[in-house]
Amino acid sequence: MSSKVHIAQEELALYAMGNLQVEDRDEVRCHLQVCTGCREELSNVVGDLIALAVGVEQHPTPERARREFLKRIESESRFRIEEMRRTPVPKEKDCVD
Ligand SMILES: [Zn+2]
């Protein structure tokens, strides 16, 4: 049957940071419109990002820590996204922008 593909945490993080390409962003946004589970996941991720950003701001090495964090997320999620691209993702029919 149709096993729905959910958004990977790393991709949600990229989405929250606005680092996704437009087409990926649209897919995430469409999925979020119909999936409460991923919306909750997103708020967790956003919460983490905010906590991290706030924590980083209070420390003397913001730029470096931030870059390393982004680099890590990016390399991890790039792998996931590649993997997702190889698997056909069913389009949400009821998400017409
Ligand atoms: Zn989902």
C-alpha 90: how far from its chain's center?
18
Pairwise CA distance, residues 78 & 84, whole Å: 10
Is the pLDDT assigned to residue 13 strictly greater than 80?
yes
22-46 confidence digits (pLDDT tens): 999 999 999 999 999 999 999 888 8
46 within domain boundaries:
yes
pTM over 0.85: no
- CB atoms within 5 A of ion ligand 1 belong to 6, 35, 37-38
Q: Which of 29, 21, 42, 14 is nearest to 96 (CA)?
A: 29
Q: Is the residue at 28 inside a domain?
A: yes
pLDDT tens across 77-95, in order?
666 666 666 655 555 555 6
Domain range for 78 is: 9-86
Q: How many Å separate Cα 61 from the centre of its chain?
A: 25
Q: How far, in Å, from the CA of 72 to the mean position of ligand 1?
A: 23
Domain annotation covers residue 94: no
Residue 91 CA to ligand 1 centre (angstroms): 13
- What backbone torsions phi and psi does residue 50 show, to the nearest 5 degrees? -65, -45
Name the DSSP letter for residue 94: T
In a domain, 34, yes or no: yes
